[in-house]
Structure 1
Amino acid sequence: MSAQPEFNKTLSDEINIMPDAHEKLVELLSNEEDINGVRIFVSGGGCSGMTYGMTFSEAPGEYDAILEKDGLTLYIDAVALGYLNGVEIDFVQQGMGASFVFRNAFAATGGSGACGGCGSAG
């Protein structure tokens, strides 16, 4: 029987949930049955950098790190965790709309020219 790989399942203070985001997530979770937490995920890459998102989740996955604080449970898979170091999650209201905003040290700076084909059809 082979040993399972070890994954970092602990979260540090490097992931910062701002008070408005925390309050809104707890509110949204309280309206959902069978939902026990919020999954934070990372996808993409390329010229525009990583794309961050959230979805409701019933349970953590096998390789998820779990952050629990003041009535909020977050699930983050081991791969995404590496890209979330230094992230700040906020809830911002602008005019008639509101959204969650991810601010991250790894965000693309844009205009680097490393991906000259962006936006072109070839």
Structure 2
Amino acid sequence: MASNNHCRFSVGQGDPRQFWVAGFTQRRVLLEGWSYTPLANRYEMANSSVPTRCRARTHRCCRPNDAPFTAPPVATVGRLRARYGVRWLVVDIRRPHDPTGIARVAELRLATGQVSIYRLR
């Protein structure tokens, strides 16, 4: 799965202590809530950084994860599926996303409240 919501809203710079997609779905998510991972902890210790300020933009999966939500051409989504095994997109409609573009590459399976779930074609 990939989600356009990998940081909490409460912190202006992005707070990576967010796990609701993985928690509710009980599935692996490409990029979400990395603050408590061993890799993030090692990075934070080596660079004297604060866990809540570790930004997603430095993670190698950030650009591939975010692309289907803001610029979803078929090739981009195909690479995401082939390289990372992503089959579903979980869209937080409060976050930047392109519903028309997503609809061209994925089928809407559920829309409820502030979340839409798409299955990649």
TMscore range, shorter length = under 0.3
Structure number with higher relative contact order (C-alpha < 8 Å, ≥ 6 residues apart) = 1
| TM-score normalised by the chain length of structure 2 | 0.25
**Higher Cα radius of gyration:** 1
Whichever structure has more strand as a proportion of its residues is 1
More helix by share: 2
